[in-house]
Chain A
């Protein structure tokens, strides 16, 4: 069964601190892995997309890593800001479907305190 598991479920950090969110998946055959940020009341917005051959990708203060062998990914946030408070969703696309059938994790709810 294709699944995406994220940890922790929620996280509270102080402004300026770093944090790392984890994602494990069983989706096969693998096509790509995405991290989305979803602000409350908004639709998800893409942060990074990584294919099988990529093991790290950055987008500003966000750095995602991918280990396709162990089927794990992480999202590292550097120097957190209050605006980083959101749900971070790990999404994996399978290669067996056209145009990317996506499997979503439940998300990690990040709260950044001043």
Chain B
């Protein structure tokens, strides 16, 4: 079956511009996670959606970052007024229960 998909696979943007990253989770998965992976660093938790509950936003690094999940499925991570330190791979994962998270291929964001 289809796995987690993310788009675009690569995004180059100028400093100060806004970007939107998209995640399509596995159908039926109630939980969706966003992570950031900077070069040489471990994955950093950003935000977590579970069903209709309020999202856990505790990992968002600043108020320039926001995410929404429409209809309990597709999610969009938005970064406003991008900075060079936002350059990283942004990974999305979805899960049905606590046991397993399935990751997408990631979006590589480069801020010039």
Q: Tell me the minimal C-beta distance from B53 to chain A in angstroms.
A: 8
How large, as a class, is the contact surface on chain B?
20 to 34
What are the residues of chain B within 8 A of A45 when measuring CB–CB? Answer: 103
A46 at the B interface (CB under 8 A): yes
Within the complex, what minimum Cβ distance (angstroms) separates A68 from chain B? 17
A97 to chain B: which residues have CB within 8 Å? 56
A107 to B43, alpha carbons, bound, how many Å? 9
Which of chain A's residues 11-69 have a Cβ closer than 8 Å to chain B?
Answer: 31-32, 41-46, 49
Chain A residues near B93: list those with CB within 8 A. Answer: 43
A-chain residues with CB within 8 Å of residue B42 when the two chains form the complex = 4, 89, 104-107
Chain B proximity mask over A85-102: 1 for CB below 8 Å, otherwise 0: 000010001000111111
- Shortest distance from the beta carbon of B93 to any chain A beta carbon, whole Å: 7
How many Cβ-Cβ contacts under 8 Å join chain A to chain B? 52
Contact A99 B95 (CB under 8 A): yes
B70 within 8 A of A: no
A interface, how many residues as a size bin?
A: 20 to 34
> When the two chains form their complex, are residues B98 and A93 in contact, meaning their CB atoms are under 8 A apart?
yes
On whether A89 and B43 interact (CB within 8 A), knowing A98-B50, A99-B95, the answer reads yes
Min Cβ gap B108→A in Å is 8
Please determine whether B98 and A42 come into contact, CB atoms closer than 8 angstroms: no
Q: Please determine whether B31 and A41 come into contact, CB atoms closer than 8 angstroms.
A: no
User: Are A106 and B41 closer than 8 Å at their CB atoms?
Assistant: yes
Within 57-90 of B, Cβ neighbours of A (below 8 Å) are at: none
Q: Which residues of B contact A (CB under 8 A)?
A: 4, 31, 35, 40-45, 48, 50, 56, 91, 93, 95, 97-101, 103-106
8 chain-A/chain-B pairs, Cβ below 8 angstroms: A41-B106, A43-B103, A43-B106, A44-B43, A99-B31, A99-B98, A100-B95, A107-B42
| Those 7 A-B pairs whose CB atoms lie nearest each other, nearest first | A43-B103, A104-B42, A104-B43, A106-B42, A100-B98, A44-B103, A99-B98
